[in-house]
């Protein structure tokens, strides 16, 4: 036959995978299916082999080694992940009802994972019972029932460090790494913060210490990308994942490495959100809160979530002049608003107690004086 196996065979090592390989074909479909496959099987010029898929639509033939017979095809189309599905597949009629659909999908999942692709998706007609069974038996998870066009949408997880989550009816596809914070699921504190945050279209939002990018990606999805979102993190691994996840989720955030605000040039944010490392000292949070005030526009909001109360409440109050605190599932969510261009100035009374002594003796009332505001927080 005209087909020869590639030098480096890429295939799934499970379920007798050594009996098969994928070949990439640049031949176009013409005429009936039988003649099309016969043409491919009889012509070595119709095939070339790749170890990694491109970002464009590619058609792969699933070939049995023993007789070089094409069992079926998988079409990989990453640009259609949310529309028609990133894969389409079919088995030639003479090879159906032999378990090849499941084998072909599982082999392709492994094949594509070697290129770092974290997810695949497939849109299947509800009338195609065999394709649905093949998808589910290959690890496919029903994502959405598209009743409007009588179809189902399945996704397949291709790499171990990836997960899918749903936040307020928005589906997020997240690739992660074990070294990152909360690598297997959204952090409960982050979810608590997002549940209390108010997002408005057209706003400029900073996801400070973004990790895998969940907060900024959620903001983009919630606002239908009608916003400007910037994400930054000190970890280059986190930034790499956030960039990938924005691509996976069709979101529009800009992502870069920054130690806190070190590389953040903009100072006109409407909203800053952060879930800082609160199990260490307060140096990171101190930097976030103090510099956060400088990078917000007047009227801008700073949301932060931690498991500690007193220090964060006092710090936000001293910098912003006040803070609203809510508790949810053991977490404290802080919301501070920048009401003036400059931080409030604390006026010390002669002979008065220091702040440290007031806290020691339970005297909580503090008076702040500012050219624009005069507020008492207790």
Burial class (CB in 10 A: 0-12, 13-18, 19+), 302: buried
Q: What is the DSSP string of 52-114?
A: S--SS-EEEEEEETTTTEEEEEEEE-GGGTTTT-SEEEEE-GGGTTSSHHHHHHHHHHHHHHT
The two tokens of residue 294 are: 């400088």
Residues 172 and 196: beta-carbon distance below 8 Å? no
Closest alpha carbon to 26 in 55, 50, 52, 51 = 50
CA dist 113 and 119 (Å) reads 8
The tens place of each residue's pLDDT in the chain, 378 residues long, gives: 222 233 233 333 334 456 888 877 655 554 555 666 666 666 554 444 444 445 578 888 888 888 888 888 888 998 899 889 999 988 888 888 898 999 999 999 998 888 889 999 999 999 999 899 999 999 999 987 766 788 999 999 998 899 999 999 899 999 999 999 999 999 999 999 999 999 999 999 999 999 999 999 999 999 999 999 999 999 999 999 999 999 999 999 999 999 999 999 999 999 999 999 876 678 999 999 999 999 999 999 999 999 999 999 999 999 999 999 999 989 999 999 999 988 877 665 555 666 666 666 666 554 444 444 333 333
Q: Which fold has domain 178-343?
A: Rossmann fold (3.40.50)
Q: Within its chain, how far is the Cα of 5 from the centroid?
A: 37
C-alpha distance from residue 175 to each of 121, 133, 154, 181, 225 (Å): 15, 26, 17, 12, 20
Q: Which fold has domain 17-157?
A: Aminopeptidase (3.40.630)
Please state the domain extents for the chain: 17-157, 178-343, 346-378
Q: What is the DSSP string of 7-39?
A: SS----SSSSGGGEEEEEE-PPP-S-HHHHHHH
C-alpha distance from residue 240 to each of 161, 165, 166, 302 (Å): 13, 19, 22, 25
Same fold, 17-157 and 178-343: no
Return the DSSP state at 170: E
pTM listed for this prediction: 0.76
Residues 323 and 317: beta-carbon distance below 8 Å? yes
Kindly list the strands in the beta sheet with 204-208, ordered across the sheet, starting from the edge strand earlier in the chain. 254-257, 228-233, 204-208, 269-274, 296-306, 331-337, 324-328
The two tokens of residue 98 are: 């032999």
CA dist 87 and 89 (Å) reads 7
């Amino acid at each position: 036959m005209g087909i020869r196996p590639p030098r480096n065979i890429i295939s799934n090592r499970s379920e007798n995978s050594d009996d098969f390989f994928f070949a990439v074909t640049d031949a176009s479909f013409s005429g009936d299916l039988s003649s099309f496959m016969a043409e491919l099987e009889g012509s070595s010029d119709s095939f070339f082999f790749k170890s990694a898929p491109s970002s464009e639509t590619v058609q792969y033939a699933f070939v049995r080694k023993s007789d070089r017979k094409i069992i079926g095809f998988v079409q990989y189309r990453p640009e259609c992940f949310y529309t028609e599905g990133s894969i389409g597949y079919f088995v030639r009629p003479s090879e159906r009802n032999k378990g090849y659909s499941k084998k072909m999908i599982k082999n392709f999942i492994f094949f594509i994972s070697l290129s770092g692709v974290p997810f695949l998706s497939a849109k299947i007609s509800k009338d195609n019972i065999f394709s649905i069974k093949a998808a589910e038996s290959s690890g496919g998870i029903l994502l959405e029932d598209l009743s409007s066009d009588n179809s189902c949408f399945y996704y397949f997880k291709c790499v171990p460090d990836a997960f899918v989550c749903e936040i307020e009816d928005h589906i997020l596809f997240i690739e992660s790494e074990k070294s990152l914070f909360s690598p297997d699921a959204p952090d409960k504190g982050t979810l608590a913060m997002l549940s209390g945050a108010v997002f408005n279209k057209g706003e400029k939002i900073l996801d400070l210490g973004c990790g895998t990018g969940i907060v900024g990606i959620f903001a983009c999805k919630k606002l239908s990308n009608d916003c400007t979102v910037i994400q930054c993190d000190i970890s280059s691994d986190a930034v790499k994942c956030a960039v990938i996840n924005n691509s996976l989720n069709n979101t529009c955030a800009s992502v870069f490495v920054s130690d806190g605000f070190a590389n953040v040039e903009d100072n006109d944010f409407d909203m800053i959100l952060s879930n800082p490392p609160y199990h260490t000292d307060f140096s990171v949070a101190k930097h976030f809160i103090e510099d956060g005030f400088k990078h917000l526009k007047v009227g801008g909001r700073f949301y932060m979530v931690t498991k500690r109360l007193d220090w964060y409440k006092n710090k936000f109050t001293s910098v912003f002049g006040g803070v609203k605190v809510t508790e949810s599932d053991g977490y404290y969510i802080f919301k501070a608003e920048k009401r003036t261009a400059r931080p409030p100035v604390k006026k010390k009374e002669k002979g008065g107690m220091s702040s440290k002594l007031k806290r020691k003796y339970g005297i909580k009332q503090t008076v702040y004086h500012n050219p624009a505001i005069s507020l008492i927080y207790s």
